[in-house]
Amino acid sequence: MDPFPPTTQQQAVIAHRSGNLLVFAGPGTGKTETLARRFAALVAEGVAPNRILVLTFSRRSADEMRDRVLLRLRQSTGSGLAVSELFVKTFHSFCGRLLDGGDARVRSRALLTPVKERLIWRRIMRSGLLVLSSFDAGVTESSQFATDCLNVIAHLKGQGVTAQRLTDLARGDVRLADIAQIFTLMEAERARGELRDYRDLVNEAVVALGDERSAAVRWLRDAGFLHVLVDEFQDSDVMQLHLLEAMRAVMTPVPLFCFVGDVNQSIYRFRGASPGNVAAARVAFACQTLPLRDNRRSAQAVLDVANADASLDRDSLTTAADPEKRGSVRLARPHTTDDEVRAIRDAVVEKVVAGTPPRGIAVLLRQTRPYQELISSALALAGVPVAALPAAGFHEDVCVDAVLTALRLLATKEDERLWRRLLANPIVGFRQIDVRLAFDAGRRAGMTDPRAMLRSNPPGGLRPISDLLTAWKHCGDAYLKATPFELVQTIIYELDLLRPVREGDPVSGFDPNASPLRLDALLAAAQDYSEGTGAPVSAHHGSRPDVVEFIARLDETVGLLADATQPPPGGTDGVRVMSIHAAKGLEFDFVVIPRLIDGILPADERPNRLLTTRSIRTLTGAGISVFLGGDEARREEHSLWYVALTRSRKDVLATAARVDDEGVDLELSPFASAIAHTAGEAREHIEQDASLHGQARSHTNDRAAAAPPRAIRLPMDTLSPTGVSAFIDCPRRFFYSRVLRLPADDDDATRYGQTLHQVLRRFHEIETDFEHVGHADDAAARYAARLREIVAEETAATSADGEGTPLARFEREDLGRRLEQYAGRLAAEATSEPFSVLACECDVVSPFGRVALHGKVDRIDRLAQGGLVVRDYKSGRWHGDLVTVLRRAFERIDGGDSIFGDPPTGLNLQTILYIPGVERAFADRVRRLDYLYFRGKDTKNSALRVDSTMVAAAGEGDARSLSPAEVGRVERDIAARIVAMCSQGEMSAFPTAHDERQCRFCSFTRICPGPGAVA
Ligand code: SF4
């Protein structure tokens, strides 16, 4: 049975055969699915799949459509199809195919990439051929001038305007004449290199279709398409509509056209999209119209606000398919912009704590600078994972970062900071702390050469440092001799940057879908430079000029490759903080729309930086629109508000500060009136005061008043003595693992501890009687043999290949040695102070004020002479006896210091916190607390170390024993304080650790601002 049967409206689109069709498809109405089903229905009726042409505007949409069509075909026909049998294409790739006349052999057209375009631009600017009279020399050298000028030229080409036509129009207009001059030279250089950009492909295809004898016309007729489906038609430009008209004019038989579009979502006018094409096509192709109105994505509460905008096209508006779906749209008015950022942070944290996955949340900005960074940082500081920023996604990709760092390091030679960055890259794989220690030790020894420092203090990593340094030498050779392309290739090979793909090994920051493509883009850019920069750059360090130029312009190149209007890769986790443009086609449970301020959303109309008023008038008079202004600009703003709202499945929070950074009042956006004026139970209008955690001051309904924003809360039944210790070591790590409940990796360090605990639990479940052990040596041998057996069984169970990594093998042998010592100590203790084991891994509840601490005690023994011993196994090393370290901690507390995140080394409090629960459960007094440190003292081969603390009864004991008053202080001054901090709902309760050694095995290093970053 079909889990999503088509709605009546979808079925009408799928079945329509009587003439050309224009489908008004609003957000969430399943247009891709409907087109895919229409495709499958046509095939089921006998139309050959290769007689159906589907055109989309982006590769992402084409891939999605192709997958959906293949799925529906498989379901309806029961058999699969090769992708090559389908014509699901972007406009540009289809035009390339047309121009080739369908001949695959000529399909090696050189594309004018943005990097090549910049190289040509620089060549022209350096050529001396340009004589610009309306621009200063300083302006023309700027990167912004290049961007603006190339944008205008691209818009002109999108409307079919040639350099010659612009030259003709420019008579008497010096500014237009200057641009025409640049346009002419750019076109000449492009033609000389036989390069084409996407717009050239469309323009050339239109020209070719006007020639009856062209290969394009012949191929199109042979292809015999019977149906043409065009997706997202509101994003088409003028020339793309001309292309479709030209195709129809030469095709016999004339196919049926089906256009799908939604002018309300037309947010690419700024790039030259012409939503007027939708109305134009309706007339030109005599289309019948059908709507898709059932919105399966958003709650009606969200749609009511979105649809309230009177300027929207009513034909494409939608209603919720499930009227019962709950949702809300809230407006918050924090006082300042800082308050606004904090309010957004708190709203997001609240959702995450309530169970919304971070990737189900988006913060959508009209203007990304500087709020994208501010909000992302605030969220990261609050411990909420944030997906790499769209543009930064490229920079932050671990593969790209490794190549860029390597290139910069080659150019600057021995920069220690770059070495650290390169070696700590997760793919290159050296331990950050080891690398830092190696450099520190090297510097202390008076060394200056980073490679010598690394050699003499080799850091641990995925490969020996000597291997890495040999590989680095090959990179250095390539830097001196190779082209930019060969150099990047060498770096990728020598640093083994594709290891995660080859080994299928998940690496933090590596996206198996995006990272190889990004490396590919970087290689292509290097190839562009290898083909000649035309730059008279003098050689540097003996390397080639093109390599020097390539490295010198890395930032610009990466800026061109990273598209800020693209969302972060789908596979990455974290809250999306991005532009509204980047969110097109995506959906989220919770959407935040910051800065709902008049002048921001809607944005003020801004004058074009390049064109004068006169130039714009000249162009407009000639029917050419290269500058979005007036009504068009305003309509785009309405569409952006509509798109932002309709990304939400359930809840929307719009925010607008009352005053700017200088205290000037900010005017609320006219769009906000839709939130205040739409009535309904599921919508709320909140006036929020400036205080960060302030309660909402007024609400439009009682239900909202009953639900003030929730602060961060830790359910106290999850707090345990181990949790108390974890909090003391790093409150931020505690927040990630116990409040946000983010999964922690099972790293080597914790595996050692887990195996140790498991082995001892199994051993002491069998061996409980240590009062009647007989001869100590025999007992020790017996215990050691039994422990060896259990270790072998446990490590075989946890290591899939029976051997594991070298580190795992080492730790297994180490564990065996320690347990051998433990067996001897056990037998000796049984002789001197007999005892019996009462319980292993015993659940204990310690009542403590109004809170109960739940935890597991490793072992509880009863001494033959009376009283209990609590034992705790430690896989780490001993750093000082409990009483001494505890008293040091009390001194710090008494001096007004916080120990949270910065405790005295070796402060372990679990056993003390267990005392009340153990005494209650076993109706006896705890006489002693034992920590067994299986890695002994802080030296390489030290023996098992036991830290025993006597617990004194009231009025007894000596200076070395723990007094009842001290037990009370642990509860009162430490545990109770943690409970209070966790309960108060402030992020300031969770500072990061002070000492970076805490971070060595931490799973949250990628999302954490780092040790010492948050006090
Ligand atoms: S990386 Fe360090 S500071 Fe951050 S959570 Fe982990 S241990 Fe704490």
How far is ligand 1, taken at its centre, from the CA of residue 728, in Å?
12
| Range name among 32-46, 117-131, 829-843 with the lowest pLDDT average | 117-131
How far is ligand 1, taken at its centre, from the CA of residue 988, in Å?
15
DSSP run (H or E) holding 529: helix 515-530
Residue 691 pLDDT: 32
Q: Which residue, among 960, 935, 728, has the nearest Cα to 818 in the 3D structure?
A: 935
Integer Rg of the chain from CA: 34
Nearest atom in ligand 1 to 998's CA: 7
| Range name among 260-269, 369-378, 793-802 with the lowest pLDDT average | 793-802
- Per the structure block, which two tokens stand in for 644? 């932002």
How far is ligand 1, taken at its centre, from the CA of residue 1014, in Å?
10
Which residues have CB under 6 Å of ligand 1? 730, 732-733, 736, 992-993, 998-999, 1002, 1004-1005, 1008, 1011
Nearest atom in ligand 1 to 1002's CA: 6
Asked whether residue 611 carries a pLDDT value surpassing 90, the answer given is: no
* Calpha distance 725→667 (Å, rounded): 49
Burial class (CB in 10 A: 0-12, 13-18, 19+), 4: exposed
Alpha carbons within 13 A on the beta-carbon side of 206: 19
Asked whether residue 393 carries a pLDDT value surpassing 80, the answer given is: no
Cis preceding linkage at 991, omega within 30: no
pLDDT mean across residues, the chain? 83
How far is ligand 1, taken at its centre, from the CA of residue 382, in Å?
13
Model confidence at 680, in pLDDT bands (50, 70, 90)?
very low
By the 8 A CB rule, do 573 and 613 touch? no
How far is ligand 1, taken at its centre, from the CA of residue 431, in Å?
15
Q: Which residue, among 904, 902, 905, 908, has the nearest Cα to 1011 in the 3D structure?
A: 902
Q: Which residue, among 416, 51, 15, 479, has the nearest Cα to 227 in the 3D structure?
A: 51
Asked whether residue 834 carries a pLDDT value surpassing 90, the answer given is: yes
Asked whether residue 73 carries a pLDDT value surpassing 90, the answer given is: no
Residue type, 740: L
Angle, helix 238-250 to helix 276-284, in steps of 10 degrees: 20
Question: What Å distances lie between residue 474 and 424, 454, 477, 480, CA to CA?
Answer: 20, 17, 5, 10
Residue 783 pLDDT: 93
- Per the structure block, which two tokens stand in for 666? 């900010």
Q: Report the nearest-CA residue for atom 7 of ligand 1.
A: 999
By the 8 A CB rule, do 458 and 469 touch? no
* Calpha distance 105→997 (Å, rounded): 60
Q: Which of 900, 1002, 1006, 1007 to mutate to test the pocket of ligand 1 (most atoms within 8 A of CB)?
A: 1002
| Range name among 514-528, 792-806, 977-991 with the lowest pLDDT average | 792-806
* Calpha distance 520→504 (Å, rounded): 19
* Average pLDDT over every residue of 972-990: 78
Model confidence at 388, in pLDDT bands (50, 70, 90)?
low
How far is ligand 1, taken at its centre, from the CA of residue 712, in Å?
19
Cis preceding linkage at 602, omega within 30: yes
Residue 764 pLDDT: 92
Phi, psi of 751 (to 5 degrees): -60, -40
Residue 82 pLDDT: 62
Nearest atom in ligand 1 to 732's CA: 5
| Range name among 44-53, 335-344, 858-867, 939-948 with the lowest pLDDT average | 939-948
By the 8 A CB rule, do 305 and 332 touch? no
Asked whether residue 591 carries a pLDDT value surpassing 90, the answer given is: yes
Model confidence at 688, in pLDDT bands (50, 70, 90)?
very low
* Calpha distance 31→292 (Å, rounded): 8
How far is ligand 1, taken at its centre, from the CA of residue 744, in Å?
12
Nearest atom in ligand 1 to 1013's CA: 3
How far is ligand 1, taken at its centre, from the CA of residue 978, in Å?
18
Cα dihedral 871, 876, 878, 881, rounded to 10, equals -40
Buried b (16+ CB within 10 A) or exposed e, 6-24: bbebbebbbebeeebbbbb
Q: Which residue, among 764, 920, 925, 916, has the nearest Cα to 837 in the 3D structure?
A: 764
Provide the pairing of β-strand 945-950 with 21-25: unpaired
DSSP run (H or E) holding 362: strand 361-365
pLDDT digits (tens, 9 = 90+) for 144-168: 888 889 888 888 888 889 999 999 9
By the 8 A CB rule, do 334 and 657 touch? yes
Q: Which residue, among 261, 258, 255, 285, has the nearest Cα to 275 in the 3D structure?
A: 261
Burial class (CB in 10 A: 0-12, 13-18, 19+), 174: middle
Nearest atom in ligand 1 to 733's CA: 5
Model confidence at 488, in pLDDT bands (50, 70, 90)?
very high
* CA angle (828 as vertex; 825, 834 as ends), nearest 5: 115
Share of the chain above pLDDT 90, in %: 35
Model confidence at 185, in pLDDT bands (50, 70, 90)?
very high
How far is ligand 1, taken at its centre, from the CA of residue 999, in Å?
5
* CA angle (655 as vertex; 663, 1010 as ends), nearest 5: 85
Residue 1002 pLDDT: 75
Burial class (CB in 10 A: 0-12, 13-18, 19+), 452: middle
Residue 667 — left, alpha, or beta (φ > 0 → left; ψ -120 to 50 → alpha)? Answer: beta
* Calpha distance 393→559 (Å, rounded): 11
Residue type, 222: D
Other C-beta atoms lying within 10 Å of the C-beta of residue 617: 12
**Which of the 8 DSSP states describes residue 227?**
E
How far is ligand 1, taken at its centre, from the CA of residue 607, in Å?
47
Nearest atom in ligand 1 to 731's CA: 8
Residue 238 pLDDT: 86
Residue 802 pLDDT: 43
DSSP run (H or E) holding 21: strand 21-25
Nearest atom in ligand 1 to 993's CA: 3
Asked whether residue 752 carries a pLDDT value surpassing 80, the answer given is: no
Model confidence at 319, in pLDDT bands (50, 70, 90)?
very high
How far is ligand 1, taken at its centre, from the CA of residue 445, in Å?
30
Phi, psi of 837 (to 5 degrees): -85, 125
* Calpha distance 269→159 (Å, rounded): 13
Asked whether residue 707 carries a pLDDT value surpassing 70, the answer given is: no
Q: Which residue, among 584, 12, 25, has the nearest Cα to 316 in the 3D structure?
A: 25
Alpha carbons within 13 A on the beta-carbon side of 895: 9
Residue 772 pLDDT: 87
Q: Which of 1005, 1006, 1007, 1014 to mutate to test the pocket of ligand 1 (most atoms within 8 A of CB)?
A: 1005
pLDDT digits (tens, 9 = 90+) for 592-610: 999 999 999 998 876 677 8
Nearest atom in ligand 1 to 736's CA: 5
Share of the chain above pLDDT 70, in %: 84
Other C-beta atoms lying within 10 Å of the C-beta of residue 449: 11
* Calpha distance 520→991 (Å, rounded): 40
Most confident of 432-441, 445-454, 565-574: 445-454
How far is ligand 1, taken at its centre, from the CA of residue 460, in Å?
20
Asked whether residue 630 carries a pLDDT value surpassing 70, the answer given is: no
Cis preceding linkage at 709, omega within 30: no
Q: Which of 740, 999, 1007 to mutate to test the pocket of ligand 1 (most atoms within 8 A of CB)?
A: 999
* Calpha distance 522→406 (Å, rounded): 13
Q: Which 3 state secondary structure label does DSSP give 905? A: coil
Residue 536 pLDDT: 42
* Calpha distance 295→317 (Å, rounded): 9
| Range name among 465-474, 625-634, 717-726, 774-783 with the lowest pLDDT average | 625-634
Asked whether residue 565 carries a pLDDT value surpassing 70, the answer given is: no
Q: Report the nearest-CA residue for atom 5 of ligand 1.
A: 733
Q: Report the nearest-CA residue for atom 2 of ligand 1.
A: 999
Q: What is the three-state SS of 557-593?
A: HHHHHCCCCCCCCCCCCCEEEEECHHHCCCCEEEEEE
Nearest atom in ligand 1 to 1012's CA: 3
| Range name among 280-284, 629-633, 822-826 with the lowest pLDDT average | 629-633
* Average pLDDT over every residue of 893-911: 87
Asked whether residue 670 carries a pLDDT value surpassing 90, the answer given is: yes
How far is ligand 1, taken at its centre, from the CA of residue 944, in Å?
28
Residue 980 pLDDT: 80
Nearest atom in ligand 1 to 1008's CA: 4
* Calpha distance 317→313 (Å, rounded): 7
How far is ligand 1, taken at its centre, from the CA of residue 736, in Å?
9
Buried b (16+ CB within 10 A) or exposed e, 56-67: bbbeebbebbbe
* CA angle (466 as vertex; 462, 467 as ends), nearest 5: 60
Q: Which residue has the higher pLDDT, 963 or 937?
A: 963
Nearest atom in ligand 1 to 992's CA: 3
Other C-beta atoms lying within 10 Å of the C-beta of residue 885: 18
Residue 763 pLDDT: 93
Asked whether residue 537 carries a pLDDT value surpassing 50, the answer given is: no
